[in-house]
């Protein structure tokens, strides 16, 4: 069992979920803390991972035997579309810290972060690193469903190619480190993640937290407007389910090949359904108003197969139903309006 697990981006959406699962699972659980384990949830306050020296100092301070690498410069469709390379005046966060900086870039900053973490893990002889990718790494033009071997079969969608290429390179690096140095580096590819501790910023959040903030700000009677026409379909994964999958991968998966972390294809949900479900959960007096601009939709759908995951983790693993997970997320948001990331 791992002795010291360092979670980068550890105070963001997924890091908080891992912390919650590790501490709340009952004794003997497949996903709970094991005897002798030490978990460190690092934020950008602990180290700027774009800086190789600060990254090295973080590793030297904690001497991790294992790393779950979540830290990234992230944002929703409109942040990615507007700021593919230069993020001048873009308000963004590296999972755990919201910053204003003209130097931030989706492409360059993520490449720096990932390269520093993997390089430092190699020179410090870290036993295992799991990096978090995204389904946006997949080609725009590809036969569905998405499967792990299709990552590099063509260019990603032009709405987020900066972030997508930076994340795609992690898979390339993992394979190179494995081939040349024997490093046990691998990656996970989650679908759309949501849950407590998400980024609820009104402009640059992803669709579920964005819609939640939107509804709260419009309870004075102004329309709850949603960009696009509501038709795109997505697979949403609850952050606390995703946390369990990362813990499973840390302990039980030993291949360099990435694994898609997703609910089943049949559980795709339209953006229209998501927005109206949020309006209902937050008791908004009416339905969402869609602005019907197809250019704001992003990809129509990008169904991902979880067949490999389910064969590996086994049939006993169950995902939280979307309506239950959404209810828990909204309840957390309402209870934490004063300190949620908005």
Give the residue numbers marked as catalytic: 163
Q: What share of the chain is helix, strand, coil (3-state, %, to 5)?
A: 40, 15, 45
Bridge partner residues of 238 (DSSP): 194
Write down how long the chain is: 342
Helix (H) or strand (E) holding 21: helix 13-24
Q: How far apart are CA 263 and CA 107, in angstroms?
A: 28
Smallest CA-to-CA distance from 61 within 1, 128, 4 is with 4
Map tokens 């795609």 to a residue. Answer: 168
Could you tell me which residues come within 8 angstroms of residue 27 by beta carbon, excluding any fewer than 6 positions away?
Answer: none
**223, 215, 234, 218: which is closest to 297 by C-alpha?**
234
Q: Is 312 exposed, middle or buried (0-12, 13-18, 19+ CB in 10 A)?
A: middle
């Amino acid at each position: 069992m791992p002795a010291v697990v360092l979670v980068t981006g550890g105070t963001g959406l997924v890091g908080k979920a891992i912390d919650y699962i590790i501490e709340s699972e009952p004794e003997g659980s497949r996903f709970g803390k094991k005897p002798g384990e030490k978990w460190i949830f690092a934020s950008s306050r602990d180290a700027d991972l774009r800086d190789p020296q600060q990254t090295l100092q973080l590793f030297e301070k904690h001497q991790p035997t294992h790393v779950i690498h979540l830290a990234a410069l992230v944002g929703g469709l409109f942040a990615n579309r507007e700021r593919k390379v230069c993020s001048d005046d873009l308000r963004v966060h590296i999972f755990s810290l919201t910053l204003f900086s003209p130097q931030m870039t989706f492409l360059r900053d993520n490449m720096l972060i990932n390269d520093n973490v993997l390089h430092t893990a190699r020179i410090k002889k870290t036993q295992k690193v799991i990096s978090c990718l995204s389904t946006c790494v997949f080609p725009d033009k590809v036969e569905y469903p998405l499967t792990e071997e299709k990552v590099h079969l063509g260019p990603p969608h032009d709405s987020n190619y900066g972030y997508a290429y930076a994340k795609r390179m992690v898979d390339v690096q993992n394979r190179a480190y494995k081939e040349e140095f024997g490093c046990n580096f691998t990656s996970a590819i989650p679908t759309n993640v949501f849950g407590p501790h998400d980024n609820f910023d009104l402009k640059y959040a992803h669709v579920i937290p964005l819609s939640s903030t939107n509804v709260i700000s419009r309870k004075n009677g102004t329309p709850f407007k949603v960009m696009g026409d509501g038709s795109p379909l997505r697979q949403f994964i609850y952050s606390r389910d995703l946390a369990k999958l990362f813990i499973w991968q840390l302990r039980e998966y030993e291949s360099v090949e990435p694994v898609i972390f997703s609910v089943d294809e049949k559980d795709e949900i339209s953006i229209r359904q998501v927005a109206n479900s949020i309006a209902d959960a937050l008791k908004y007096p009416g339905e969402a108003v869609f602005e019907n601009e197809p250019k704001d939709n992003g990809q129509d759908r990008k169904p991902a197969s979880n067949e490999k995951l389910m064969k590996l983790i086994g049939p006993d693993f169950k995902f939280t139903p979307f309506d239950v997970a959404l209810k828990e997320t909204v309840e957390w948001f309402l209870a934490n309006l004063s300190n949620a990331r908005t």
